[in-house]
């Protein structure tokens, strides 16, 4: 109840601990100052005003920069001028003083001399400036006469290396080094520009196509040349490096020639001296040779490679060891005028000494012995890079030849005796086998005739039945746009087909009546982060979003990540899709970024093989293009292509189900894919079953099945009949239902694939079928949801083929002779006979496939494909800028952009568009259809023959017609009126508006940030190396994002 004086010191709230300096860089600078020093640590002030006059190096003030200051973490300041050299610590005084462990040194750079001190006036001479303390400061320039800069700078503490610029006249110039844009230090360093080297002649002026002939270049002033190279225009494959011998002689190997035709004119030859193009009295810079009108002074004429052969044109030359060897080599006439020193003849690795050379004959001899274990040695002659093997030298003796002859004669005699005996034996049996062979041929012919007749009859009747079945009114189960996007962008992560296997079993009414939603994190929902970290992370994501909306940052960011070796293709595709989600609301900006990245990709591809561009998805921009096409083509896909595509899928499924399907191997009687063809004549009869589904509220239905179907296959067909108007994700699973057969009014049986009644055959258990249970046509069955899931049987296709089988035993062909008499009644025909079923299936589906291809390659007048027109025009513009006039290249670019990148992906993955079940067999058929579509869009000729795969042969007749449709489609796109940027931006804005608020961009930003965090230092270096981003201080803003997201300043939680 009384007050007293507290003598203890009160803790002042808000007082910071003393500054802690962890790192300073650089550690030295010139006496004149001006060096940007970066100080990193913690507690470096709470605001810029705290540190305005608080930074010193010894007694010299360092002035902080406001725009480079990062609160508490980093100070960047300009060093002041020092009177003399010294070294001291850096101090920061913010109410309390902090000192660095490292010391900053003021040093005086000293220049000693420059080497070489002379060079041609055209420039290009690489010089080295020797001195001390040359690696100080942050900025460096080497000036020539205070006007021009020495380029390609690199430096160490004692050297500076750079490339001298060119001048107009011969003169001596002053070379000085400028540190931190202060005064320029020279110390009497001078460089003398001399007259340019002069080339007077080249000999010889002819070369063989393979190249490698030594061309002698004569002239003056060559000792000033640090590097010389020769280029043969139009037909030369590569630039070759020359060698300087004296001040007047240079030798250069001729490059190999390409595109050489008979009667070609002499090709112009140019030389590059110190990287500058030589042209009489001047040298033009290598970087811009087109700025001056240049005519090559020298020419080189190419002829076919010389051809050599032995005296008698024999390919084998016998030689006995110990005897002298002289070779006479004949040469066909040519115009090369080769000298004797240009030939080199070798036998194996031993040189053959050339003695006589004329226009037609070469004599050479070998004096040393052939010490080798090999019995054969190649005889080769080389001229430049051309090497020809003209014969093989056989080393052996007379004794070996006699021995070999004796052995051969003995073997021939023995073979003749055996052959005579066999012939006599076969002759006696021939008559007996002849009659049996005739009977087998007649039986095979009858079986072939019967199989083809059945296939033809099915081909005529299937179209009518299938069209009637598909014309029933049933809705097309399109996926919503957001699910289409997540499946297309992230095919491995988002699939209703996968989701349904982790959902708990529900009552049938709820399964068939409610929409099951995907749970992909990118779909709109709550951003789940710890509440105590939410403010900082929201601010960090907002700042990161601002950076991603800066074109310079985003392009450097993408290129910086792609340069990392461990940034795999999967990471690149994932980043591209995340960027598409994050920028979905700004498709105009997204499109401009994509175009800029594509320009970089085109530049990289144009220098290699431009026809390979966009063929694969190996970069971020290629996946971005795929996503852009998916967004722009979705409306056309749903409104125009969706119906014929869905009808084709239904037709494929129904055609497959009309025949037997092996549940274990997946092979079927009817298919488009040879690998999935059931090459057996399985007798199967249709069964019409009356099925009721308890609990679904529907009347009983008549379901058509095959008596060879397993019980799982029967359940699937029953579920399809009852649920055909319901999306597949809402169907019950086969494992969740029981099938009961009422054999009589009192007896009923639960039907299963495996039970105690299953039979064994050749050591394998056969799956139960309707024929096994002897269920008659018109039988009554009941299906109901089971309360207890049958866990005794996994998915049928995953069963061990060594223990189970369905229709065909896997070892039938291997154990043909071991089969029991009970199996021997099965008909045996050639498996290739059943390939006619591929044609039957193709003919049944042809109308549906034609309708689909025509829909894909159609142009609606009310809704023209503006995005395709815009992008194709962009490709044509880029090709024109790079001088690419080959129409095949443009056709390939367009095909790789749209058909290959978008349509083939959709054709092979219908589950991206519809809520359906894509079985392995449907996937195999779609692969054949997709291959036909790719061949239709290709321009290469199909080289088909009897050994070609059936997947190629199946649609070989239709491919030429499809190609005409593709070419017409491309021409119609080309003839459309061009779009302005405003029109395209309006279209993209409308697409963005349609799907606003569909995706959680914060989650996408967070996933992109994970890549930014993983490669933080590499991205900072990339931003710092780019002049534009460095000028905009984007690397510091990026560091602020890291600080906010990682909470280094406030340390509020560890979860962030």
What is the SS3 assignment for 850-885?
A: HHHHHHHCCCCCCCCCHHHHHHHHHHHHHHHHCCCC
CA nearest to 892, candidates 605, 646, 560: 605
Cα-Cα-Cα-Cα dihedral sign, residues 565, 568, 571, 575: positive
SS3 587: helix
Instruction: Report how far residue 293's alpha carbon sits from residue 277's, in angstroms, rounded to the nearest whole number.
Output: 12
Instruction: Report how far residue 517's alpha carbon sits from residue 496's, in angstroms, rounded to the nearest whole number.
Output: 8
Instruction: Report how far residue 182's alpha carbon sits from residue 910's, in angstroms, rounded to the nearest whole number.
Output: 67
Distance of CA 636 to the CA centre of its chain: 28
How many CB atoms sit inside 10 A of residue 366's CB? 19
Instruction: Report how far residue 984's alpha carbon sits from residue 589's, in angstroms, rounded to the nearest whole number.
Output: 12
Q: Using a cut of 0.75, tell me whether the model's pTM lies above it.
A: no
Instruction: Report how far residue 12's alpha carbon sits from residue 20's, in angstroms, rounded to the nearest whole number.
Output: 20
Report whether 725 contacts 513 (CB < 8 A): no
CA-based radius of gyration for the chain = 41
Tokens 């967004």, residue located: 631
Q: HEC string of 61-106?
A: EEEECHHHCECCCEEEEEECCCCCCEEEEEEEEECEEEEEEEEEEE
Calculate helix-pair angle for 620-636, 866-881, nearest 10 degrees. Answer: 150
Alpha carbon of 351 to those of 348, 369, 928: distances in Å? 8, 12, 58
Type and span of the H or E element at 107: strand 96-107
Instruction: Report how far residue 1051's alpha carbon sits from residue 1056's, in angstroms, rounded to the nearest whole number.
Output: 10
Report whether 133 contacts 28 (CB < 8 A): yes
Q: What are phi and psi of 666, to 5 degrees?
A: 80, -5
Instruction: Report how far residue 182's alpha carbon sits from residue 341's, in angstroms, rounded to the nearest whole number.
Output: 61
Low-confidence ranges of the chain (pLDDT < 70): 1-15, 259-264, 281-294, 322, 371-372, 396-404, 428, 431-432, 435-474, 493-533, 695-697, 788-798, 811-834, 942, 945-946, 997, 1047-1056
Pairing of strands 126-132, 74-79: unpaired
Type and span of the H or E element at 447: helix 398-470
State the pLDDT at residue 826. 44
SS3 1050: coil
Query: 214-231: per-residue pLDDT in tens?
Result: 999 999 999 999 999 999
As beta bridge partners, residue 737 has 785
Query: 516-557: per-residue pLDDT in tens?
Result: 444 556 655 556 666 666 777 788 888 989 999 999 999 999
Peptide linkage before 116 cis (omega within 30 of 0): yes
Instruction: Report how far residue 232's alpha carbon sits from residue 260's, in angstroms, rounded to the nearest whole number.
Output: 12
Report whether 123 contacts 166 (CB < 8 A): yes
Strand order in the sheet with 198-203: 198-203, 214-220, 249-253, 243-244
Q: What share of the chain is helix, strand, coil (3-state, %, to 5)?
A: 40, 25, 40
Q: Could you give the angle at the alpha carbon of 319 between the alpha carbons of 313 and 325, nearest 5°?
A: 85
Instruction: Report how far residue 517's alpha carbon sits from residue 512's, in angstroms, rounded to the nearest whole number.
Output: 13
State the pLDDT at residue 761. 86
Instruction: Report how far residue 614's alpha carbon sits from residue 900's, in angstroms, rounded to the nearest whole number.
Output: 9
Report whether 374 contacts 392 (CB < 8 A): no
Residues in the chain, total: 1056
Tokens 């006589």, residue located: 356
State the pLDDT at residue 113. 92
CA nearest to 364, candidates 326, 338, 319, 332: 326
State the pLDDT at residue 436. 67
Q: What are phi and psi of 476, to 5 degrees?
A: -90, 120
Tell the burial category of 949 from Cβ atoms under 10 Å away from its Cβ (0-12, 13-18, 19+).
exposed
Tokens 């080599």, residue located: 329
State the pLDDT at residue 729. 85
């Amino acid at each position: 109840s009384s007050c007293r004086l507290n003598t203890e010191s009160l803790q002042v709230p808000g007082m910071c601990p003393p500054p802690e300096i962890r790192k300073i860089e650089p550690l030295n600078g010139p006496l004149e100052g001006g060096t940007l020093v970066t100080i990193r640590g913690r507690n470096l002030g709470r605001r810029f005003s705290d540190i305005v006059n608080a930074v010193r190096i010894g007694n010299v003030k360092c002035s902080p920069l406001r725009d480079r200051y990062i609160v508490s973490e980093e100070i960047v300041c300009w060093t002041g001028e020092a009177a003399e050299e010294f070294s001291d610590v850096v101090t920061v005084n913010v109410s309390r003083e902090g000192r660095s462990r490292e010391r900053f040194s003021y040093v005086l750079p000293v220049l000693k001399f420059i080497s070489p001190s002379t060079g041609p006036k055209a420039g290009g001479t690489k010089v080295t400036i020797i001195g001390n303390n040359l690696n100080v400061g942050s900025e460096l320039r080497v000036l020539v006469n205070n006007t021009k800069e020495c380029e390609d700078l690199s430096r160490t503490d004692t050297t500076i290396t750079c490339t001298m610029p060119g001048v107009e006249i011969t003169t001596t110039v002053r070379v000085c080094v400028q540190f931190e844009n202060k005064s320029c230090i020279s110390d009497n360093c001078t460089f003398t520009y001399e007259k340019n080297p002069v080339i007077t002649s080249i000999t010889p002026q002819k070369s063989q196509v393979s190249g490698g002939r030594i061309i002698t270049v004569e002239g003056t002033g060559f000792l000033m040349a640090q590097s010389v190279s020769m280029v043969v225009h139009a037909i030369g494959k590569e630039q070759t490096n020359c060698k300087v011998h004296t001040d007047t002689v240079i030798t250069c190997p001729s490059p190999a020639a390409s595109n050489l035709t008979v009667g070609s004119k002499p090709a112009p030859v140019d030389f590059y001296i110190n990287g500058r193009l030589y042209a009489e009295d001047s040298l033009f810079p290598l970087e811009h040779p087109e700025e001056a009108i240049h005519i090559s002074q020298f020419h080189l004429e190419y002829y076919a490679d010389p051809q050599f052969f032995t005296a008698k044109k024999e390919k084998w030359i016998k030689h006995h060891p110990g005897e002298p060897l002289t070779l006479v080599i004949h040469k066909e006439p040519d115009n090369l005028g080769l000298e004797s020193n240009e030939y080199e003849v070798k036998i194996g690795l031993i040189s053959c000494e050339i003695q006589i050379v004329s226009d037609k004959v070469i004599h050479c001899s070998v004096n040393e012995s052939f010490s080798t274990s090999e019995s054969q040695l190649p005889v080769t002659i080389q001229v430049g890079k051309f090497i020809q093997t003209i014969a093989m030298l056989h080393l052996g003796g007379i004794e070996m030849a006699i021995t070999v002859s004796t052995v051969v004669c003995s073997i021939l005699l023995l073979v003749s005796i055996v052959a005579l005996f066999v012939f006599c034996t076969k002759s006696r049996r021939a008559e007996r086998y002849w009659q049996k062979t005739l009977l087998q041929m007649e039986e095979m012919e009858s079986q072939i005739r019967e199989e083809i007749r059945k296939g033809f009859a099915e081909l005529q009747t299937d179209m009518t039945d299938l069209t009637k079945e598909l014309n029933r009114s049933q809705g097309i189960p399109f996926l919503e746009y957001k699910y289409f996007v997540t499946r297309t962008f992230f095919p491995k992560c988002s699939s209703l087909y996968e989701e349904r296997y982790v959902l708990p079993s529900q009552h049938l009414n709820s399964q068939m009546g409610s929409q099951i939603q995907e749970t992909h994190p990118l779909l709109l929902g709550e951003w789940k982060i710890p509440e105590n970290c939410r403010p900082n992370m929201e601010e960090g994501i907002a700042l990161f979003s601002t950076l991603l909306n800066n074109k310079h940052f985003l392009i450097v960011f993408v290129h910086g990540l792609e340069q990392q070796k461990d940034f795999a293709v999967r990471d690149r595709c994932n980043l591209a899709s995340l960027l598409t989600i994050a920028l979905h609301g700004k498709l105009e900006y997204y499109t401009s970024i994509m175009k800029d990245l594509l320009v970089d990709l085109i530049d990289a591809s144009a220098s290699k093989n431009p026809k390979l561009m966009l063929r694969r998805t190996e970069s971020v921009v290629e996946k971005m293009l795929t996503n852009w096409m998916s967004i722009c083509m979705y409306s056309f896909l749903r409104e125009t292509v969706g119906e014929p595509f869905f009808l084709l899928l239904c037709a494929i499924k129904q055609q497959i189900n009309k025949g037997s399907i092996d549940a274990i191997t997946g092979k079927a009687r009817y298919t488009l894919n040879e690998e999935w063809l059931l090459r057996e004549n399985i007798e199967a009869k249709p069964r019409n079953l009356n099925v009721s589904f308890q609990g679904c509220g529907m009347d009983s239905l008549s379901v058509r099945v095959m008596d060879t179907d397993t019980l799982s296959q029967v359940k699937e067909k029953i579920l399809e009949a009852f649920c055909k108007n319901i999306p597949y994700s809402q169907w019950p699973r086969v494992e969740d239902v029981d099938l009961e057969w009422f054999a009589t009014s009192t007896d009923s049986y639960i039907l299963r694939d495996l039970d105690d009644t299953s039979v064994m055959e050749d050591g394998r258990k056969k799956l139960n079928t309707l024929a096994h249970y002897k269920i008659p046509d018109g039988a009554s069955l009941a299906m109901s949801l089971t309360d207890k899931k049958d866990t005794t049987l996994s998915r049928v296709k995953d069963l061990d083929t060594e223990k189970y089988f369905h229709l065909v035993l896997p070892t039938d062909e291997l154990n043909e002779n071991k089969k029991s008499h009970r199996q021997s009644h099965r008909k045996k025909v050639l498996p290739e006979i059943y390939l006619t079923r591929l044609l039957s299936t193709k003919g049944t589906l042809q109308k549906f496939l034609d309708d689909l291809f025509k829909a894909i390659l159609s142009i609606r007048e009310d809704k023209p494909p503006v995005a395709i027109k815009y992008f194709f025009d962009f490709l044509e513009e880029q090709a024109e800028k790079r001088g690419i006039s080959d129409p095949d290249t443009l056709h390939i670019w367009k095909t790789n952009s749209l058909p290959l990148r978008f349509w083939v992906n959709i054709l092979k993955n219908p589950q991206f568009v519809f809520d359906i079940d894509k079985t392995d067999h449907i996937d195999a058929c779609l692969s054949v259809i997709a291959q036909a579509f790719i061949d239709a869009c290709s321009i290469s000729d199909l080289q088909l023959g009897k050994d070609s795969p059936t997947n190629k042969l199946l649609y070989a007749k239709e491919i030429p017609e499809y190609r005409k449709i593709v070419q017409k489609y491309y021409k119609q796109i080309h003839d459309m009126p061009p779009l302005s940027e405003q029109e395209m931006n309006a279209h993209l804005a409308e697409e963005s508006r349609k799907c606003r608020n569909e995706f959680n961009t914060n989650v996408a930003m967070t996933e992109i940030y994970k890549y930014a965090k993983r490669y933080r230092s590499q991205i900072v270096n990339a931003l710092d190396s780019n002049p534009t981003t460095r000028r905009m201080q984007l690397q510091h803003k990026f560091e602020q994002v890291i600080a906010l997201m990682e909470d280094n300043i406030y340390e509020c939680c560890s979860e962030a």
